[in-house]
Structure 1
Amino acid sequence: MIQQITLNENSPLDRLNTLRLPCTARFVAEVYSIRALSNILQSVTAKRLPRLILGGGSNLLLPNTLNALVIRPMLKGIRLLRTDGDRVIIEVMAGESWHQLVMETIARGWFGLENLALIPGTVGAAPVQNIGAYGVEIVDRLYSVQAMDRAGQLHDLRPEECQFAYRDSLFKQQDGEWVIVSVRFALSKKPQLVLGYGDVIQAAGEHPTPLSVANAIIHIRSQKLPDPNKIANAGSFFKNPCVSKSQFERLKAEWPQISGYPQSDGQVKLAAGWLIDQVGWKGRRLGGIAGCVGMYEKQALVLVNYGGATSHDVLALSMAVQADVWSRFSVKLEREPVVPIGAYDESA
């Protein structure tokens, strides 16, 4: 029988973050039940140290030493809560694999998540970043989030309470204050395909289905993005920036090939990968003799660790890219991966 909790001191996180950055955490707690999670949050250790909630580690930029309590929710389970006509409400525990969930829902005839196939990480981590791809964000399919506060009390939060924005949420803003226990989704028995991208339409076939759309996106992502099991990376490293309409018009006049995507608030979203490519960083490396970090040769938006990189190497590269994009376009790039500020202990 699996213990409800395991607690290790001075534990390495090298294999628990997809950038494969060397990091030693003061404590790492793996929790396998809601009661165990409540107990660890109310412990003396949790009260005297900063907390970092770790899912699949695909959106983290870790320091060499992390003076914190790292909590890994290992809760498992997928269940159907209720059916209302074509609508189904399901609950998924935080420790489940996100991609496996997408494929499982398709197999069970619960549709709506297919555009989010092959996104790495766990279900519990997905609302933190409000993950999205190919015209769908998790908030579009969310029913509620069950999360535990720092006092060990459970809360059922509706989408409007989660303060979702582009790659942002209450859970990201208040890092360490909340631990997501489970996520509830409102899906459909009737496919309602989102096909707003030409490459997806082409790859999904003449008569697309939820499965063919998921397989098309898996194929597209596999062609563009490196497998973190083969080349260490954190996926898209920068957010697609938004600029005012007037700034976009000025950029368009100087660079006619630039693309912009109008937003509901009147701003225009730019493709960060295109900006990075234009300033010459696509396929370029930095650090060490051979260059231990670089922007991926097939997708300029992806920062990769070719081996031996530290958080300092990654930060140096990201700041160099940001500086060059700002210098050329006067556009500020923002990192997607979370840096656990306040959990550093550089003197250790």
Structure 2
Amino acid sequence: MLPLLCRSHEEASDKPERIVVLLELKGGNDGLNTVIPYRDPAYQRARPRLAIREGPLLGEDLMLHPALASLMPVLKASRMAFVLGVGWPQPNRSHFKAMDQWATGSASGEGPGWFAAALARKRRSRTLVALGPSGSPALEGSDGLSVQMQPVWQHNPHAGKTRLPAVDPELAGDNAMLRSMLELEASGQAEVLRLLDSLGDLPQGLTIPRGSLGAQVAMALRLIGAPSPPAVIGLEHSGFDTHSQQIPRHNQLLIELADALVCFDAGLRRMNHRPKVALLAISEFGRRLNQNASGGTDHGSASVALLMGDHLPGRIVGRYPSLGDLDARGDLIPHVKPTDLYESAMTSWERLGGLMVL
């Protein structure tokens, strides 16, 4: 990711008002098999091979996928919630276009990353850090400094420093465009070095899950525990494009997700003087109601989002899209806009209070 610096840090306070952690479930998570309308006959008819029939109950009509059972204590403690019916109306079923829509917060998918632009509007020039292997376009562009870090550097920050090549803007000579690019790169490298020098310690006894997402969560906790943490941290968990063999693949992905979120919650609660933190887990689209012939599901529309933080409005936010009233393409109709989730994560969960809460 090319670091982007458009404004100095002179106006920024030392601590962000609220740290946002954006977790992207890439590939299109099947919301219907995450928070499950198990009592709806239409669900059972549409998915004779894929329907989930056992799991922790979330009220009378909904059930959580059994792979997420370890999250129930966090959910019952009101530090987690699920938002139902999230998405763009009739989204583009291309992964790339859909991810652009989510990144920019616009139906066109054009413009700067939503979180970078939001910080600019609030005149908060804090750093935005992507920890996932493919970066996070929602954190790029507009005013602010967007950098990408390697989670493995948490084990050896010195290795991260030594792997950064030297960048000297003076090498551009009279080439103004090249000089500008090198200055941006140098600013980004300086910020990465600052972050590596100021990482907080992980709480003693905290078990870090294996795998990419576990490493990202560990680095996120160390960044949050730093004296001057980033304003936004991007994480990613990939593999949710379950066109075939969905049952075992989705189960494993959700186990990894649950392990990482349990670790994240435990790490935050053990921190001394931690700042306010809001985590938002989203996916570029959901899956279709009907299973396909390959033991999976194809690209759909509405899905579920996951929230973590304090003062959540309830465990279930919003209403489940009707399984009997689909759009012209046969997809669930969303009723919660992605930008509403973004705004609430940046400011206050109270913005979701107008939705039905359970």
Q: TM-score, normalised by structure 1?
A: 0.26
Q: TM-score, normalised by structure 2?
A: 0.25
| Larger RCO: 1 or 2 (CA < 8 Å, sep 6+) | 2
More strand by share: 1
More helix by share: 2
